[in-house]
């Protein structure tokens, strides 16, 4: 009797535990649970402790690709799907392999469960078809250089298509674009040629700038040298002019003194002509081949005039035109009788 009562209480306890498990549902944070009553949607159970009617209400299971079968809670956080490389044909008929990542988030769990059978699988297939449609309208060069444009077009297309499923696509990133091997080799050769061309252009530009700088330096040096020569020539001309002016002033002073002395005793013009004549005779006698000098008849007359002028200076006691004190002339030699 006691054993039967013990089994009865054990049965009651087990039944109470089963009923409690069916009645109490604990939902984690950032997740929700869809409650169905007799197969129809009843309500959305939020995070925390939830009590349902046992045997009448039950959570709706989720049967999506890459999701644990029969999962009852729905994650409302942002999630991502990493797509494997997919073959895509560009507009210029080049087959490339593209892998991408899609970031998405459930905004309406009711639509995500009841509007599509396999939400994740639908997003994957929609991403592949959208990628083929976008890249199919672009050349290979544009595909490799305009990834931001591809990402933007894919995100807009996926967001519009998944809106009716209660899903928002927040971001699409193309991770890698792999062209065929022969195309990659050709692109590498083209890139090498382009870099070589840029290097030659930069070198030519550097040489041109160096030549321009060198020419500017030579120009400045020539201008500076010309300015220096000009200044030197001006200074030399000024020095020569000052020397000639001083010489002329000295000659003018000498001529003035000679003229003053000759006013009473002779002709100044005759004196100057005689002095120039004597200087010319000196120049003629200095030549290397000058051995015999023929003197004209007028020479004696001129020399006698010079002697008379010297006697005049001796008598007056005035200075000579060259600035020295006139000395007494030496005694004249006796004149020999004419033979």
One DSSP character per residue, 126-187 reads HHHHHHHHHHTTS-HHHHHH-HHHHHHHHHHHHHHHHGGGTEEEEEEEEEEEE--HHHHHHH
Confidence (pLDDT) at 301: 55
User: CA quadruple 32, 82, 165, 71: dihedral positive or negative?
Assistant: negative
Residues contacting 82, CB < 8 A, separation 6+: 99, 101
Q: What is the DSSP string of 85-116?
A: PEEEE-TTS-EEEEEEEEEEEES-HHHHHHS-
**Alpha helices in the chain, H assignment, sequence order:** 2-23, 109-114, 119-135, 140-145, 147-162, 181-262, 268-285, 298-316
Q: What is the CATH number of domain 77-179?
A: 3.30.479.30
End-to-end CA, the chain: 207
Confidence (pLDDT) at 154: 92
Tokens of 171: 């971001």
Distance of CA 22 to the CA centre of its chain: 73
Give the predicted TM-score (pTM) of the model: 0.56
Letter string b/e over residues 77-107, b meaning 16 or more CB atoms within 10 A of that residue's CB? eeeebebeebebebeeeeebebbbebebebe
Which long-range contacts (C-beta less than 8 Å, at least 24 apart) are formed by 56-64? 58/22, 59/25, 59/33, 59/34, 59/35, 60/33, 60/34, 60/35, 60/36, 60/113, 62/113, 63/117, 63/118, 64/118, 64/119, 64/120, 64/121
Confidence (pLDDT) at 287: 61
**pLDDT tens-place values along the chain, 339 residues long:** 567 777 777 888 888 888 887 888 888 999 999 999 988 999 999 888 888 888 888 888 888 887 777 678 899 999 999 999 999 999 988 899 999 999 999 999 999 999 998 999 999 999 999 999 999 999 988 888 889 999 999 999 999 999 999 999 999 999 898 888 888 888 788 888 988 999 999 999 999 999 998 999 988 888 888 888 888 888 888 888 888 888 888 877 777 776 676 665 556 666 667 767 677 766 766 666 555 555 554 555 555 555 554 555 454 444 444 444 444 444 444 443 443
């Amino acid at each position: 009797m006691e054993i039967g009562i013990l089994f009865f209480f054990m049965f009651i306890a087990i039944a109470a535990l089963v009923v409690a498990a069916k009645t109490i549902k604990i939902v984690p944070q950032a997740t929700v649970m869809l409650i169905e009553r007799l197969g129809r949607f009843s309500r959305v159970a939020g995070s925390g402790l939830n009590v349902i009617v046992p045997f009448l209400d039950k959570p709706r299971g989720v049967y999506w690709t890459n999701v644990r079968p029969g999962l009852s809670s729905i994650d409302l956080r942002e999630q991502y799907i990493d797509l494997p490389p997919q073959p895509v044909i560009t507009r210029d008929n080049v087959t490339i392999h593209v892998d991408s990542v899609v970031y998405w988030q459930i905004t309406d769990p009711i639509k995500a469960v009841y509007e599509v059978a396999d939400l994740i699988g639908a997003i994957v297939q929609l991403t592949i078809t959208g990628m083929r449609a976008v890249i199919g309208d672009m050349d290979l060069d544009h595909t490799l250089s305009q990834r931001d444009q591809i990402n933007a077009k894919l995100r807009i297309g996926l967001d519009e298509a998944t809106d009716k499923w209660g899903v928002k696509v927040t971001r699409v990133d193309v991770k890698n674009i792999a062209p065929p091997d022969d195309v990659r080799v050709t692109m590498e050769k083209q890139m090498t040629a382009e870099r070589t061309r840029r290097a030659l252009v930069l070198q030519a530009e550097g040489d041109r700038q160096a030549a321009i700088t060198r020419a500017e330096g030579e120009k400045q040096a020539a201008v500076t040298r010309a300015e220096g020569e000009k200044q030197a020539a001006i200074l030399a001309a000024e020095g020569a002019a000052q020397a000639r002016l001083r010489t002329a002033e000295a000659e003018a002073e000498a001529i003035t003194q000679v003229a003053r002395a000759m006013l009473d005793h002779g002709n100044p013009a005759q004196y100057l002509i005689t002095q120039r004549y004597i200087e010319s005779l000196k120049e003629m006698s200095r030549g290397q081949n000058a051995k015999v000098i023929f003197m004209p008849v007028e020479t004696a007359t001129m020399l006698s005039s010079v002697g008379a002028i010297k006697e005049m200076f001796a008598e007056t006691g005035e200075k000579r035109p060259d600035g020295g004190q006139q000395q007494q002339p030496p005694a004249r030699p006796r004149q020999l009788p004419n033979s």
